[in-house]
Structure 1
Amino acid sequence: MSATATSDTGANRKEALKGLHSDVFSANMHPFWATTKDVEHDEVAQLMSPQKAVPWVWKYSDIGPLLERAAELITMADSDRRSLVLVNPGLAPRRASVTTMYTAYRFNGVDEIMPPHKHSASACRFGLLGGGNFTSVEGENVVFGPGDMILTPNDAWHNFGSIGNEGALNLSVLDFPLVETLHALEFHHHYTEMENGKEVEKKEQSARYPVDYSKLVYGQGGMMPRFVDHHRAGGFASPQVVYRWEAMETLLDAHKDHDGDPHDGIIIDYVNPRTGGPVFETINYYIQMLRPGEKTAPKRETANLLLAPFKGKGHSIVDGERFDWEEFDTLAVPGGCWVEHVNPSQTEPVILFGATDSPTQKKLHLYKSWGRNQAGDLLRLA
C-alpha cells in the first residue's frame, strides 16, 4: 500500500468518493470519516444517530382487549406462553421497549400452569389483577396478587400460571435485549428431577421450600439467618424471590409526609438482602410514589427507564412532550431524556412500578444524572 495519497477536485473527486464508498459498503465495511456536512457521507453525523428508542406510552386499554382475544384463541396446547411484548417504535422490529429491557404482559386463564424453563435473561413478575397468579422459582412455589413482585433470576428454573379458579394478569420486565445484544441469550425447556436414582422429565417443579420461604428468611430486614443457603440460581441475584406488596405499602405510608426528593418524589428500591444492592447485576426495580398534587423537578439520566402506573393516573413530560398515563399502562423513558412526572389529584397518591438499567451502567462507570432546580439551574446529581 502506498503511503502517498492523491486528491482531485470537482466532479472527478465526487465520482471517486462515490465509487470509494460503494466499494467500502460492498466489502462489509463502514467509512468512519467526514468530508463536508452537505454530502451524503457525513459519517460522524451518522455515527451519532443510530436507531434509538423513543419516549412512548403503551395503553392498557389496548393491551387488555388483545390479551382477552389471545386467551380465547391461544391455548396452552398451542404455546406455553401467552404474553405481549411491548416494542418501542424507534427500535422495531427488535423486541425491546427500551434499548436494554422489555416489558411483557401475560394473562393466564383459569388454572393454567406452563412447564418449567430457564434462560440467561433476568426477569421479574409484578402482579396486576387476580389473587391467583402462580410462579415456582427453583422449587419455591409462590401464589401472588396485585403489587407483589417475584424474581426469576438468570439461569433459575421457573414456571408460572394461575390457580384458584380465576384468571390472573401480571407484567414482566426483562433484560432480554441487553443479553441478546451481548450474544449471551440461552433458553432451556427440558426440566428434570432425580427420582429413585433416575433422571425424570417433569412438567412442574417439586416444592423444595416451605410456603412463604422468602418472607420467612428475608422479610424482617436488617437480619439474616446464617444457617440457610443464600446462593440460589448461581448466587448472582437476590436470594429473596418474593417481595410482598404489603411490606412496600407499609413503608410508603410511613414516608408519605417525608420531604422526599424534588426530582423523584418518594422512591423505594427493591434490594438484594445479602448486599443491600440491586436485585440483579444488570437491572433493578423500584416503586415511586407521587403524593397528591406533586410534580417532580426535571431530571435527566443516562439510564433507561420503564414505568408502569400501578395506582392512580397522571402525566409525564419527556423532552417537552406530554404523555398521559393511567393504571397498568407502561411508559418508556429512554436514557438521556429530560423527564418530569405530575400527579394531578389533590387527594390520592400515584404509585409507579419502575425498572432501570442503572446497575449495568454503574458497573461500567457510564451512569450520570442531572437535574434542574426551580430557577432552572442545571445540577449534576450523579
Structure 2
Amino acid sequence: MMTISDAGNDLEAARSAFYHRLKDRNMSALWTVLHDLVPRAPRRDQMAASWAYADIRRTLMEAGELITAKEAERRALILENPAWPGESRITPTLYAAIQLVLPGDVAPAHRHTQSALRFVLEGSGAFTAVNGERTFMERGDFVITPNWAWHDHGNDSDVPMIWLDGLDIPLVSFMNVGFSEPGEADRQAVTKPAQDAPARFGSGLLPVDYEASAYSTSPIFNYPYARSRAALEQLRVADVYDACHGIKQKYVHPATGDFAMPTIATFLQLLPRDFDTHPYRSTDSTVFVVVEGRGHSMIGDQRFDWGPNDLFVLPTWTKVTHHPAEDAVLFSYSDRGIQQKLGLWREDRFEELRT
C-alpha cells in the first residue's frame, strides 16, 4: 500500500484513485473542500448591480399589453442578480420583483409560506387585502404580507400601480418548505373595517391580552410613508447623524421592538445633501430603493448613479459609501434579522480610517 512517505507521481496517482473510490461510496475528503466549507470570509460570487426605474417601467407597461394580471397571477418582472441568471434571486436569501397592477386589475387571492413585502413606487388608491382587511396604498408605503396569510390586490383607481415585491423565496426554497394555496375566489371577503390594524396595534396601544408569538410578523401590515418620512424629518432637527448611515431607522414589530418581519429586515434612511457616508460593510446583502433624491453609491470600486425609484443591490461583506447630491431617502431590505437571531451578523465600520 502506498504511504505518505512515498513521493512523486505514484503518490498523486494513489490519491486520485482514493478520491475516486470515495466518490463511488458517496463520500468525499474534507481536506479537499475545507476552505470552501469554512471560508476565511464570505464568498464574493454575488455581484453588485442596479436597475433604472425608467427602463423597468417601460418593460412593465409592455408586459401589461401582453398578459392580464389574472393570467399571470402576479404580473411582475423579477430582478435577478447577474451572478445567478435564471435563479430568481437578487441576494443569496431574497427575491425582488416589480409588479404592475393596472386600473381594473385583480391579482387573485392566494397564500404561501414565503413572507412578502410591498414597497409602493408609483400610483395611489390601489389596495391589498390581508386576512380579510384591506389597506389602500400610496407611494412609499411599506406593506407586509405575513407567511401563510391570504392576500389579493386590486386597482379600482384610474392610474397604474407599481410596487416592489420583496420575498424570502430563496431562503424558503433552500429549506424546502415551500407551500402555496389558491383562494376560492379572486377577491377574499372583507371581514374587518378599514384601518382596523392601525387602530389596534399602531397607535401606541395594544389589545390587553395580545401576546406576540416567537418570531411573529408585525400585526401592522401598512407602514404609511407620510408618517415614516415625517419621523425622519423630525430626527433631522436633532442634527445627529451616523457617519455610515445618516439617519437610519428600522421598521419594527410594535409588541416586541424586533424587525417587522421575522426573515426580512426593513429600513428607511435619510441622507442630507452632500452627506458623504463613511465606508461600511456588513454580512447582510441589501436591496436599496431610492425613494427621494439623486446621487451615487460606491460599491467596492464600482459607481452606481441613482435617482427616484431606481434600485441597486449591495453584496455581502462589500464596502459601500453613499454620496447624495440632494436630500435623499432610501428604503432597504436584507436578511439581517435572521442573521442576528442566529448569531451570524457582523459589520465593519472601518473605524481605523477615522482615528
Q: What's the counterpart of residue 341 of structure 2?
A: 363
Structure 2 partner of 1:328: 309
State whether residues 215 and 262 of structure 2, in contact with CA within 8 Å, keep that contact through their aligned partners in structure 1. no
Matched, 1:86 2:79: yes
Q: Structure 2 unaligned segments of length 5 or more: list them.
A: none
Which of 253, 268, 272 is matched with 1:272 structurally? 253
Cα offset, 1:170, TM superposition: 0.5
1:240-251 mapped onto 2 (5 Å cutoff):
240-251=220-231
Partner of 2:263: 282
Aligned to 2:216: 236
Moved more, 25-34 or 50-59: 25-34
Report 1:133-282 matches (<5 A). Answer: 133-189=126-182, 191=183, 201-221=184-204, 223-226=205-208, 236-257=216-237, 258-282=239-263
8 Å Cα contact 2:293/2:325 also seen in 1: no
Is the 8 Å Cα contact of residues 132 and 162 (structure 1) preserved in structure 2? yes
Equivalent residues of 2:133, 2:192 under 8 A apart: yes
Matched with 2:353 is 376
Q: CA deviation at 1:319?
A: 2.0
Corresponding letter in the other structure for 2:288: L
Q: Secondary structure at the match of 2:72?
A: coil
What whole-Å deviation, never above 9, does each CA across 1:142-164 have from its counterpart, x for those lacking one? 11010111110111110113221
User: 1:182: Cα distance to partner?
Assistant: 1.2
Residues 223-242 of structure 1, C-alpha deviation per residue, up to 9 Å, x if partnerless?
A: 32427x6769x982111111
- The structural deviation recorded for 1:283 is 1.4
Shift in Å at residue 21 of structure 1? 3.6
Contact 1:306 1:356 in 2 (8 A): yes
TM-superposed deviation, 1:365 = 0.6
Return the letter of the residue paired with 2:169. Answer: F
Return 5+ residue gaps in structure 1 as ranges: 35-42, 192-200
Counterpart-to-counterpart distance in 1, 2:44 and 2:175: 17
Question: Distance between the aligned counterparts of 1:263 and 1:50, measured in 2?
Answer: 23
SS in 2 for 1:256: helix
Partner deviation per Cα, 1:117-144 (whole Å, 9 max, x = no partner): 1111111111111103320000111110
Q: Secondary structure at the match of 2:349?
A: strand
How far, CA to CA, are the matches of 1:188 and 1:45 in structure 2?
Answer: 41
Please state how far the C-alpha of 1:286 moved relative to its aligned partner.
1.2
- Alignment counterpart, residue 316 of structure 1, candidates 287, 297, 314: 297
Kindly indicate whether the alpha-carbon contact (under 8 Å) linking 1:111 and 1:167 is maintained by their aligned counterparts in 2.
Answer: no
Q: Corresponding residue for 2:63?
A: 70
The Cα of 1:22 is off from its aligned counterpart by 4.0
Percent of aligned pairs with the same amino acid: 29
Provide the C-alpha distance between the structure 2 equivalents of 1:18 and 1:161, rounded to a whole number of angstroms: 61
Secondary structure of 2:31 counterpart: coil
The residue type equivalent to 2:275 in the other structure is E
Distance 1:76 1:322, change over 3 A: closer
Matched residue type, 1:206: A
Partner SS for 1:100:
coil
- Kindly provide the CA deviation profile for residues 62-92 of structure 1, in whole angstroms up to 9, marking residues without a partner as x: 3111111110101135321111111112233
The residue type equivalent to 2:222 in the other structure is V
Who is 1:351 aligned against?
329
2:3: which partner in 1? 6
Aligned AA (2:196): Y
